[in-house]
Every structure is written in C-alpha cells, then in structure tokens.
Amino acid sequence: MDRLVINDLELNDKRVLMRVDFNVPITDGKVTEDTRIQAAVKSIKKVIVDGGKLILMSHLGRPKGEPNQTFSLKPAAKRLSEILGKEVKMAGDCVGSEVESMVNALNPGDVLLLENTRFHKEETANDGEFSSQLAAFGDVFINDAFGTAHRAHASTVGVTKTIKECAAGYLLQAELENLNKLQEAPEKPFVAILGGAKVSDKIKVIQNLVTKVSSILVGGGMAYTFLKAQKIEIGNSLLDDEHLSLAHNTLVVADNPHPHKKFDFILPSDHTVASKSNMAEFKMNDSVSIADDWMGVDIGSKTIAAFKEKILNAKTVLWNGPMGIFENDNFAKGTMEIANAVAEATAKGAFTVVGGGDSVAAIEKAGIRDKISHVSTGGGASLEFMGGADLPGIMALTKAKKKA
Ligand code: ADP
Ligand code: MG
C-alpha cells in the first residue's frame, strides 16, 4: 500500500485523532447492533496499548447540520466502554473550548469520543475553519472509517490538510488490501456476480470490470434492463428506462471484446415471477421472456445452475447485489444458492469478496458470512472503489515513503 498505515505511526504520548464509523442503529438510547463499533476495536486497542491519547470522531445518521439528541453518540460511547472494559469519556460537542479542555486533560491510554460531527453543517461542507478546529486536537490522524471514505468531509479529508501524519487504521487497511487484489492481477477465472435493484448504481462497476474478469453474471432487478435491451419481454419487472442504452452498449462490448480480454456476460435464462397485483401469487417462469402483469423476482433454477458452474470453477469471485427480492423468503432461493456457492468456492481455495449493504445482509441470512475471504462493509464506498474511483478519504492520507 502506498499510504501510511497505523503501524507506521509513533503513538506513545501523542494525541491521536481517529475517524471511526460509529453510525450504528440506536433504539431507546441503546445500540441495537454493534458490528461497526466492534470493527474499529483493533485500531482503538492499538492506540491504547501504545500509550496514545485517543480522540474518536464519527457521524451518526443525518442530523442536518444541527444538534439533535436523537443522533447523539452517547449510546456508542457506552457500548464501546463495555467492549473495552474501561471508561470512554463523552464530549458534549466535537469542537469548542470545553472539548479542548477535555482533550488537554487526557492521559496516555485514555479514550474520548467527540459528539456527532454532523451536528455542524461545516462537516459535510468540508469547511476549512471547522476542519482546522478538529485537526487541532490531534498530533496524528488515523482514518478507520471505510464507509465514509468516498466522502470529502471535514472529519475525513479536511483534517488531513494540517496534520502531518495521516494513516489508515486496520479496518481501512484491510479493505484496501483486499479490494486492491481484485483490481491488480486477480487470479483467473475471475467471476463477478452483480445484482440488486438499480443499473445506475452498478454500471460503473461493470465498466471497470470488463477488462479484468472472465465472466460477469447478472441477476436481481438490474438484469431486466439488460434483457429489455435485447428486446426480450420482461412484463412488469423492474426497468431502469434511463439506462437502457447504457445497458445496450455494455452488451455490445461483451459481444465484441478486446481480443485478449474475452469475457462471458451471462443474464438469467429463467425466473421466479410474481403477480403484479399480488406478490403472494408466484410461479416458475421457465423461459427467458416474462408475460405482462408478471414481474421477475428471483433467478430460476436453470440460471442458478449456470451461475453455480461458473462460481465453483472460479479462483476469484466478487459479488455485489442480491439475485432476487431475498428479503421475502419466497424469492430468496437464488440469492441463498449463490451465497452457498461462493462459500464453497472459498473452501476450494478461491479468493472471494462480498460487498454492498444488502449483499452483506444476504450472506448473513445464508449464515455464511465467515466463509467469505473478505466482506466489505463499506456500502457506497466499496461500490465506488470497485468502480475504479479514487476515494477522497484514502487519497488524503499521507503517502508512505518507498520501503527499501
Ligand atoms: P447492495 O446493497 O448489496 O449493493 P442493492 O441495494 O443494489 O444491493 O440491491 C438490493 C435490493 O435489490 C434488495 O432490496 C432487493 O430486494 C432488490 N432486488 C433484488 N432483485 C430484485 C428484483 N428482481 N426486483 C426488484 N428488486 C430486486
Ligand atoms: Mg443496498
């Protein structure tokens, strides 16, 4: 990696400003799901053990640039304190003289969580003055919030302007290293599985992948726009009209690839369809075309078999986007079977990555999350990264000197 990482930093007795992603679900003042907090614990413990004075900052929800106790990080401080088994001090704000006094009172190994950065509209505006106020709390900066790495905000990018050493935390580092493996010389066959609702969300990923993959398998709601672009009847299935021509162009590229970069582009050949008027009414649709008043809600058994064959022979797999409306058990089969196939490929030695909020929910539903090589928790950030974009939060980190 060409950026500083947490292990490159001298932390002892330093004020360590760390951006984490504590954007967790909270009900009645309690954290109901703490995966994101747990994910930052490795970096947090490192700072404590090394004798740094840790100042954590995060956003939570969308408080629209003003204080709103519904979006207070207090419950997150409480949860972190339970996890660490030590006190986590909570600041009433993220800037100002009171916070400054709390920062100055920190001893090595202490942990302070600043209040929601989005209580100030300057956060998302990446305001220079606000950024300097935050940056003044840290001798060094660590970013361990991959989920917001695609946003140029004060707490992710602004603070790096004045802090000399800005490094990736362990979580961010692992995301980058794993996602980079897909970009740089992935072992072939490399199979990308794409699904989910909207073509517009995923088209960049497809465009970035066409020069790298052996096969692209497309399922889920986005598949119907591609089928429609081939003049196949799709009934009332999801259609992204605006992106029909883009879908068509992608199919043309797939048909006429660069001679040395041939890849298969495989769309569903059968489906589970549900009645437009009543989703409880559903049936198998053995052909590729779908009649009026029916909508494709899952990939069919022929498609599952075809996708599985590709996946089980792969050495590298990237999966983003469910194969059907998997939240409904009647339409979850395609997604669950693909999840199990990806787990099986992993067991056979393939390097596998699953990314995307709903895709992660799907592998959890299938009970195979721990059977995947890398689960990217970034949502929008992982999509942009897989689309080949440079993420501002990463570009802002300090370049590492080349190791001799
Ligand atoms: P991710 O969050 O993993 O990137 P997306 O947000 O793109 O995935 O897509 C997930 C959504 O796509 C799910 O809510 C799922 O119900 C929906 N979906 C999947 N297949 C279909 C389909 N055939 N028709 C309509 N919606 C679908
Ligand atoms: Mg989603």
Chain centre to alpha carbon of residue 66 = 27
* Three-class SS state of 341: helix
What mean pLDDT comes out for the span 6-19?
Answer: 98
* Architecture of the domain whose range is 6-172: 3-Layer(aba) Sandwich (3.40)
219 lines ligand 1 (CB under 6 A): no
What mean pLDDT comes out for the span 309-321?
Answer: 97
For the stretch 261-306, pLDDT in tens is 678 999 999 999 999 999 999 999 999 999 999 999 999 999 999 9
Domain boundaries, the chain: 6-172, 185-386
189 lines ligand 1 (CB under 6 A): no
Which numbered atom of ligand 1 lies nearest the CA of 219? 20
Catalytic residues: 36, 198, 357, 380
378 lines ligand 1 (CB under 6 A): no
CA of 185 to the centre of ligand 1 (A): 29
CA of 79 to the centre of ligand 2 (A): 26
8 lines ligand 1 (CB under 6 A): no
CA of 22 to the centre of ligand 2 (A): 19
- Residue whose CA lies nearest to ligand 1 atom number 9: 196
CB 317 within 8 A of CB 191: yes
Fold agreement between 6-172 and 185-386: yes
Q: Which ligand gives the minimal distance to the CA of 331?
A: 1
Q: Taking the model in full, what pTM does it have?
A: 0.89
CB 102 within 8 A of CB 112: yes
- Residue whose CA lies nearest to ligand 1 atom number 5: 196
Alpha helices in 64-143 (DSSP H): 74-84, 97-104, 128-135
The correct answer on CATH 1.25.40.80 for the domain covering 185-386 is no
CA distances for 259 relative to 208, 211, 263, angstroms: 17, 11, 10
359 lines ligand 1 (CB under 6 A): yes
Q: Using alpha carbons only, what angle is made at residue 142 by residues 137 and 145, rounded to the nearest 5 degrees?
A: 115
For the stretch 179-202, pLDDT in tens is 999 988 899 999 999 999 988 888
Ligand 1 pocket test, pick from 218, 325, 329, 359 with the greatest ligand atom count within 8 Å of Cβ, gives 325
User: 9, exposed or middle or buried, with CB in 10 Å at 0-12, 13-18, 19+?
Assistant: buried
CA of 221 to the centre of ligand 1 (A): 6
Q: Rounded to whole angstroms, how far apart are CA atoms 173 and 179?
A: 10
300 lines ligand 1 (CB under 6 A): no
Residue 378: the pLDDT is 83
260: pLDDT confidence band, cut at 50, 70 and 90? low
Q: Given CA atoms 129, 134, 136, 140 in this order, what sign does their dihedral have?
A: negative
CA of 323 to the centre of ligand 1 (A): 7
- Lowest mean pLDDT of 10-19, 61-70, 97-106, 255-264, name the range: 255-264
Q: Rounded to whole angstroms, how far apart are CA atoms 160 and 142?
A: 9
Contacts of 89 (CB under 8 A, 6+ apart): 77, 102, 110, 111, 112, 113
Residue 258: the pLDDT is 63
- Output the average pLDDT for the chain: 94
Is the bond into 257 cis (omega within 30 degrees of 0)? Answer: no
